Copies of this chain bind each other. A is one copy, B any other.
Amino acid sequence: MADSNTIRLRVFSLNCWGIRYLSKHCRERYAMIGELLSREEHDIVLLQEVWSEKDFLCLKRKLSSTHPHSHYFKSGVIGSGMATFSRHRIHDAFLYRYSLNGYPYMAHHGDWFGGKAVGMVILNIGSLAAHVYITHLHAEYSREKDSYLPHRVVQAWELQQFIRHTSSGADLVILAGDLNLHPQDLGNRLLRTYTGLRDSYTETAKFDGCEDGITLIADNPFINPKELCPFEKGIRIDYILYKGSGRVSIQCESLSTTKGSVPDHPFPYSDHEALSAELQLQTLTQQAGGDETRGDQDCAAGKLAELVDIVTEARTEVKVGLYCAERMRYTAARTGVMGLALLLLELAIAAVPWLGADQPFPRASFYLLGVLCFAILITTFLLYIFYTMEVKSLQGAEDQMRLAVGSLQERLRRFPLAQPLNPLCRPPDRQDPCPLEPEE
């Protein structure tokens, strides 16, 4: 395992909060972000919430000399908001839209209109193929009563599936973005354990940033501290994750975040803090592996057992979501039937005068009631279709999870176990311990 070559790679990630005319100081902040990026010259820049393509194009012009390669991912009604800039040529881009992403009628939350997705760009760093992923998951508006939890769990599930299945040929994998997940949240554990991605914050020895690595901090002037409750200081929901391969070993040399203010500027870059990681890639001339020890086996078995638990937990969460979605669909159907019954009743009553009754149906009430019935019918019909799609997506995710658990359990049975499992072992001197590829 001799090292022939060491490459330094700097990665930047920021949720820009770039809603034109609504986000505070949007234009000025984009100018600041552009200045920062041209000055710092990171290798890879991954931005979220660049909602307007005009702002992307403006940044692209500004960074044309430092970051000649870029890609803007389009999706949904507004767009995915995800943009990437690179000093290395981008060879390929691919987008996966999450099957679930909130509700269109929750327009004030706006997530549905954003068309949340995970984008992948493939670029070559020297002779290495880097698969770089960017994503932004559905926001959490209330930690206590989080009605979007099943959607976010399904998004995390689809995210790990997408990364796992599209990164087989990669020498290195990088994922950055606003996951809207705390470090120990179900979706985060699912993602990290299944893909083997490592968190630059926990892996680096040199961290410079806010306490506990938080990226949504109470001190940020754009943040309403009440919304962070019960986390007084803030939360960590933005990440740079990475993993190497048999050809490349990666170490996170340092990670830094902004701290809520920018020197010589009256306000920060965004409501989120920016992350900047320095990764060191070491190409391995000799492929590791082949001499698997008993300790490695125990570790892999432990990881598998942990994964079974996590996927089972996710499945439970999806089932809860499925129950809610089916109930909502039932409510929509029942309301629709009531609207139809009301309409028929009205028509029957209105028909009575022609049959010889004395008092005619008041014309104004007749029309108003008719309009109401039609509005109910159309709305419930659209909702019924929407909830049916939600049910199908949740059922699909649950089916896939059931399949995954079965497959993991079968692999687990193949391990000759004499000792209790050690689910958290991680040898510190080995790259990507116990990767859980479809078939090892």
Contact = CB atoms under 8 A, between A and B. Distances in A.
Contacts of A92: 165, 400, 403-404, 407, 438
B96 A96 contact: yes
A316 interface: no
Contact of A389 (B76, B95, B364): B76
A172 to B, nearest CB: 13
A207 interface: no
A399 B119 CA distance: 13
A169 B166 contact: no
A75 to B, nearest CB: 6
A382 to B, nearest CB: 8
Interface in A83-139: 89-97, 99, 115, 120, 122, 124, 129
Interface centre among A122, A161, A165, A385 (most CB of B within 10 A): A165
B385 A77 contact: yes
Interface centre among A368, A374, A399, A437 (most CB of B within 10 A): A399
Identical copies of this chain, number: 2
A392 B79 contact: yes
Given A89-B410, A99-B97, A367-B371, A124 B392 contact: no
B129 A74 contact: no
Given A75-B392, A400-B93, A439 B129 contact: yes
Given A368-B367, A439-B124, A74 B165 contact: no
B367 A73 contact: no
A72 B168 contact: no
B169 A438 contact: yes
Interface residues of A, number: 54
Given A374-B371, A378-B378, A407-B92, A75 B166 contact: no
Contacts of A404: 92
Contact of A115 (B79, B165, B364, B389): B389
A147 to B, nearest CB: 22
A431 interface: no
Nearest to A124: B439
A399 B165 contact: no
A395 interface: yes
Contacts of A204: none
A74 B438 contact: no
Contacts of A389: 76-77, 115
A71 interface: yes
A391 to B, nearest CB: 9
A393 interface: yes
A360 interface: no
A294 interface: no
Contact of A93 (B166, B378, B399): B399
Contact of A120 (B165, B367, B396, B437): B165
Q: Which 7 pairs show the lowest CB-CB distances between chains A and B? A: A168-B169, A367-B367, A168-B168, A74-B396, A165-B166, A91-B407, A74-B392
Interface of A: 71-77, 79, 89-97, 99, 115, 120, 122, 124, 129, 161-162, 165-166, 168-169, 363-364, 367-368, 370-371, 374, 378, 382, 385, 388-389, 392-393, 395-396, 399-400, 403-404, 407, 410, 437-439
24 contacts: A71-B403, A73-B396, A74-B392, A74-B395, A76-B392, A79-B392, A89-B407, A91-B403, A92-B165, A92-B407, A93-B399, A93-B400, A94-B162, A94-B165, A122-B438, A124-B439, A129-B438, A129-B439, A166-B166, A169-B169, A169-B438, A367-B368, A371-B374, A378-B378
